[in-house]
Amino acid sequence: MARATEKLSFISSNAPDAQAARLELEALYGAHAPEDADVIIALGGDGFMLQTLHRMMNSNKVLYGMNRGSIGFLMNEYATDGLRERIERAVESEINPLEMVATDEDGAETHAFAINEVSVLRQSYQAAKLRVSVDGKVRLEELVCDGLMVATPAGSTAYNLSAHGPILPLVAPLLALTPVSAFRPRRWRGALLSNKAEVTIEVLEREKRPVNAVADNTEVKSIRLVRIVQSKQTTARLLSDPDHSWDDRILAEQFLY
């Protein structure tokens, strides 16, 4: 079934290169409001694409990114020619984000989604002390570390990789549980979990060792605990060029040296 490409909407970050690209493409292909478009073209870097994916969750809108930022891991190469044809040939990936429910010291709950990862991070000079449960069973009674994250395959090449976590193929039904500078147990390097698992992280010695929770760009200060599960009802749709698909990019990261 052919993908509709008649109505294109161009959105951009505030970067001058992205703004200039948007004006150039609108002059070539016309401009439609995002809510009326067949495909939304995001122009900027990875940060802008993440923001856009969050905004478009459950909208059923398809996103196609072109890099006008720095790294552009989530983006396709920028080119003005043959855009409709590129979109027609593009490979679609459906993303199910993590859902975080963080409870702070006052008992208030914050719900947020994360496409890359949910992380808990120490708030002060004191290392965090955490209790980790998976599906209601305590797996680590006490983890002393700078932080701990649950990463999706989509986010496995981001913060997770910098913390020496595993790279996960996009189609893998897995989540990465990765510590940041684990001090005790000293040899623990993390775990691979089913994407159906629910992870609960409790903060021990909260007054002495305060901890924040972060879901992509949503941060909650001074938490008691956080529950993390992959949402099956919430989706975002992303297009990538077939010769540079997201699967290929993640695979290529495993052979960098």
User: What span, in angstroms and rounded, lies between the C-alpha atoms of 215 and 120?
Assistant: 9
- By mean pLDDT, which of 81-85, 97-101, 166-170, 206-210 is the weakest? 166-170
> Do 53 and 127 share a domain, yes or no?
no
- Is residue 178 marked as binding? no
> Do 113 and 220 share a domain, yes or no?
yes
- In the predicted structure, residue 45 carries a pLDDT above the cut 70: yes
Q: What average pLDDT does this structure show over 159-173?
A: 91
- Is residue 116 marked as binding? yes
Structure tokens belonging to residue 250: 């993640």
* Active site amino acids: 46
> Do 110 and 183 share a domain, yes or no?
yes
Whether residue 3 lies inside any domain: the answer is no
**Residues 201-218: tens digit of each pLDDT:** 999 999 999 999 999 989
> Do 121 and 74 share a domain, yes or no?
no
Report how many domains make up the chain: 2
> Do 58 and 141 share a domain, yes or no?
no
Q: What is the CATH number of the domain that holds 172?
A: 2.60.200.30
Whether residue 51 lies inside any domain: the answer is yes
- Is residue 60 marked as binding? no
In DSSP terms, which residues pair with 109 in a beta bridge?
A: 103
- Is residue 117 marked as binding? yes
Whether residue 77 lies inside any domain: the answer is yes
Q: pLDDT category, 1, cuts 50, 70, 90?
A: low
> Do 219 and 178 share a domain, yes or no?
yes
> Do 102 and 91 share a domain, yes or no?
no
Entry pTM: 0.88
- Is residue 157 marked as binding? yes
Range of the domain at 60: 8-95+235-253
Whether residue 2 lies inside any domain: the answer is no
pLDDT of residue 251: 77
Whether residue 193 lies inside any domain: the answer is yes
> Do 85 and 134 share a domain, yes or no?
no
> Do 180 and 151 share a domain, yes or no?
yes
User: What span, in angstroms and rounded, lies between the C-alpha atoms of 159 and 170?
Assistant: 16
- Is residue 47 marked as binding? yes
> Do 209 and 87 share a domain, yes or no?
no
> Do 161 and 37 share a domain, yes or no?
no
- Cα-Cα end-to-end distance for the chain: 40
pLDDT of residue 74: 83
Nearest to 55 by CA among 103, 97, 25, 102: 97
Whether residue 1 lies inside any domain: the answer is no
> Do 127 and 81 share a domain, yes or no?
no
**Residues 100-116: tens digit of each pLDDT:** 999 999 999 999 999 99
- Is residue 158 marked as binding? yes
Q: What is the CATH number of the domain that holds 88?
A: 3.40.50.10330
**Residues 121-162: tens digit of each pLDDT:** 999 999 999 999 999 999 999 999 999 999 999 899 889 999
Nearest to 113 by CA among 238, 202, 214: 214
